[in-house]
Every structure is written in structure tokens, then in C-alpha cells.
């Protein structure tokens, strides 16, 4: 949504030098994107945490599903930016010892996110070893 607003804003700013029809076409695409993409993402994005693993499904054009076993989890982060805080949302990032990318869950309800972090932390502590 922010990206689309940004695109529209830059278009308005530079809109004087491009023809009106292009401006309109771009605006239509941008608005369609800002409406359709989040809805589509919301339908695609999934997450689940079991006793032994975390699972996420993300993306819209390119879709990625990630599974990380609880025994290999190294850190669990919870973060909120200003907008998230306005809507009482939070994002959870679970990292393993691999640099191949963390497992990230965006836009959880703050309470749900906190419960999840607590649960993940507890389960990871139970696992022995140095997680490599």
C-alpha cells in the first residue's frame, strides 16, 4: 500500500512532464496493485508452528515456503514499525544458523505475536546442542 502511495506521489511530483493518458494508466495500475496485491498476499500468506518446526508461506508472484526445525532455531525477534504499532500489529523473525534466509511472519496481531515468540523461545530452550 505504501509502495503504491509512493508511486502515485512520485507520479504527481513528476506528472507535469509526461502525457496525461500515461499518468492515468499508471494511476489505474498503481491503485489496482495497491488493492489487489495485499488481498492476494493475505490469501497466500500462511504460517504454522508445531512442537518441532515453524512453517511459513509468503510471496505473491514468486512464492516461497520455508520450514525451520525448532532444534535449529537460533534467534526469535519481534519487531514493530510505527504503522504496525498504530494497528497493533507485529512481525516475528526466526533465524537459524544458516545465512540462507530467516523465516519471517509479517503482520500478526500483537498479542498473537507475543504468544508465538514466547512459545518459540521456550521450545528452543528445551532443545540441546548448538543448533548447527
Partner 1 sequence: MSEDAVTSELEHDAAWRRLDMRMLLVHPVNEVVRFLPLLIGLFLFGASDHSDPWHYLGVALPIAIGLLRFASTSFRITGSQIELRRGIIGRSVLTAPLDRVRTVELTAKPIHRLLRLSRVEIGTGSAATSGEGRLVLDSLGAGEARRLREDLLHRAPLPSPGDPVAASGVPAPPESVILRLDPAWVRYAPLTTSGLVIALAALAGASQFLGNLVRAALDASSLDEDVRALPLAVSLPLGVVLFAIVISVLAICGYLLTNWGFMLSRDEAAQTFHVRRGLLTTRETSIDTGRLRGVEIHEPLGLRLAGGGRLTAIVTGFKRRGNDSKTPMVPAAPRAVVAAVGDAVLAENGPLHTALIQHGPIARRRRYVRAVIPTTLIPVLLAVLATTASWPWWLAGVGLLAPALGVLLARDRYARLGHALTTDYVVMRWGSLHGRRDALQRTGIIGWNIKQTFFQRRAGVVSLTATTAAGQQSYEMLDVPEGMAVAFAIEAVPGLVEQFATRLSNAPQSADPALKCT
Orientation of helix 2-14 relative to helix 20-44, angle to 10°: 170
Check: CB of residue 76 under 8 Å from CB of residue 120: yes
In sequence order, which residues have a C-beta less than 8 Å from that of residue 44 and are 6 or more positions away? 57, 58, 59, 60, 63
Cβ proximity to partner 1, 17 vs 50, nearer residue: 50
Binding site for partner 1 (CB under 8 A): 43-44, 46, 48, 50, 52-53, 55, 57, 61-69, 72, 96-101, 103, 130-132
3-state secondary structure of 6: helix
Whole-angstrom distance, CA of residue 102 vs CA of residue 122: 19
Q: Give the position of cell 512442537.
A: 51
Cβ proximity to partner 1, 57 vs 88, nearer residue: 57
Which letter does DSSP use for residue 57 in this model?
E
Cβ proximity to partner 1, 72 vs 117, nearer residue: 72
Cβ proximity to partner 1, 80 vs 95, nearer residue: 95
Amino acid at each position: 500500500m505504501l509502495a503504491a502511495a509512493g508511486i502515485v506521489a512520485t507520479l504527481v511530483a513528476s506528472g507535469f512532464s509526461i502525457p496525461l493518458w500515461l499518468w492515468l494508466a499508471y494511476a489505474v495500475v498503481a491503485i489496482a496493485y495497491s488493492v489487489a496485491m495485499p488481498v492476494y498476499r493475505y490469501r497466500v500468506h500462511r504460517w504454522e508452528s508445531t512442537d518441532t518446526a515453524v512453517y511459513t508461506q509468503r510471496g505473491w508472484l514468486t512464492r516461497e515456503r520455508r520450514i525451520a526445525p525448532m532444534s535449529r532455531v537460533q534467534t526469535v525477534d519481534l519487531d514493530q514499525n510505527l504503522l504496525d504499532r498504530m494497528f497493533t500489529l507485529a512481525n516475528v523473525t526466526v533465524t537459524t544458523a544458516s545465512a540462507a534466509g530467516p523465516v519471517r511472519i509479517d503482520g500478526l496481531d500483537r498479542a498473537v505475536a507475543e504468544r508465538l515468540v514466547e512459545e518459540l523461545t521456550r521450545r528452543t530452550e528445551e532443545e540441546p546442542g548448538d543448533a548447527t
